[in-house]
Amino acid sequence: MEQENIERRFEVTRPASLTLANISGSVDIQTGDDGVITVTAVKSQNGDAEHTRIEMNQNSAGAVSVITEYGESFWRFFGQHPSDVAYTMRVPRDCSLQLKCVSSHGQVKGLNGKLDLSGVSGDLALEGLSGAIKVNMVSGNLSASQLTGTAEIETVSGQVDLHACNFESLRLSTVSGRVTLETPLGAGPYKLHSVSGNVQLALPSNAKATVEFSSLSGRLATNLPTTHSQQSGSHRHVELQGGGPAILFESISGDLQLTSAQAVMSTPVAKPVAAAPTVKETFSAPAESVMAPPSPAPVAASEPGVPPAPDPAIEEAATMRRNILDRVAHGEITVDEAVNLLRG
């Protein structure tokens, strides 16, 4: 299959600034030489290559923008779709980045600066980033390691795995994806919000924290020493090893599990926190005492050989989600607008 290769080189001052938007394909951004941003774009012929355009510009302040555009929306009525574009970029370490990807898999390594990363219908892998990190994902998985600084992360329908990180503060929100997170605690706060996804937070074994836990039906579990705990309705106040930086957790049905980093993450060893445990009680339950999954809801019986009727609410939600993702892919709404719609 024929490909079109485009290569550009931009001289930049410190700190560098890059904006990249891709609507189908892949993105690989890593550190290179100081003072230079290099871009290699490979456009395949697997779609409507004629109307898939690549725009590269540098403004008077030295900021570089690279954007994949797909003609006018009416081409889609003829069954056309944009061609895949694979971007490989090398940038200075000190570089702010605004990344927007649709139907693209992305990889970003080694950057320091203001990082604003968003994706729809594609996975994102991050490594060795530092600074003010903001990530917004819809229908894609996020995997990351060795992130430092402050972070704001929002996901809809995707798993999140954050390993060997060091967040000074964190705001994380998930609708339905599982979250595993490993970080020591800085000044905080650490605000975690989940609709139905479970969150597992691994901390150093000597970590001190004050946990404020609120959930309609979710559960809290830990194997770290608990020195104080009290409950009022659906809210729990728990102090780990005397209390410390604030961990604020809210959910509808998602669980929060706090473990020591040495117990990460393959075999959880936490047990549920009692409503009012004795002060200075230490939880050290064996692996088999892990929170049991909730019992499945009873299913109405159906006649032999007749499949159960589909749940109208589930079908309606799935249809709405597909429509929203299609509107993003067609350029009718932005990623941020899609997140707001999906979150209701």
pLDDT in tens, 157-207: 899 999 999 999 999 999 988 999 999 999 999 999 999 999 999 999 999
Higher model confidence: residue 220 or residue 291? Answer: 220
Q: Please say which residue of 64, 96, 118 terminates a domain.
A: 118
* Separation between Cα atoms, residue 121 and residue 12, nearest integer Å: 32
Taking only the tens place, the pLDDT of each residue in 288-300 is 233 333 333 343 4
Question: Can you give the residue range of the structural domain that contains 228?
Answer: 123-291
Taking only the tens place, the pLDDT of each residue in 84-120 is 999 999 999 999 999 999 999 999 999 999 999 999 9
Q: Mean pLDDT over residues 4-18, rounded?
A: 96
Residue 325 · residue 121 · CB < 8 Å = yes
Tell me which residue of 137, 154, 239 sits closest to 194, measured CA to CA.
154
Same domain, 218 and 248: yes
Task: For strands 36-44 and 85-91, give the pairing.
Answer: antiparallel
Q: Please say which residue of 98, 118, 138 terminates a domain.
A: 118
Same domain, 111 and 135: no
Q: Please say which residue of 252, 276, 291 terminates a domain.
A: 291
Which amino acid, one-letter code, is at 249?
A: F
Residue 318 lies in a domain: no
Domain count, the chain: 2
Residue 37 lies in a domain: yes
Q: Provide the pLDDT confidence category of residue 284 given band limits of 50, 70 and 90.
A: very low
Q: Provide the pLDDT confidence category of residue 282 given band limits of 50, 70 and 90.
A: very low
DSSP 281: B
Tokens found for residue 185:
């605690």
Residue 195 lies in a domain: yes
Same domain, 204 and 92: no
Same domain, 131 and 196: yes
* Separation between Cα atoms, residue 20 and residue 96, nearest integer Å: 11
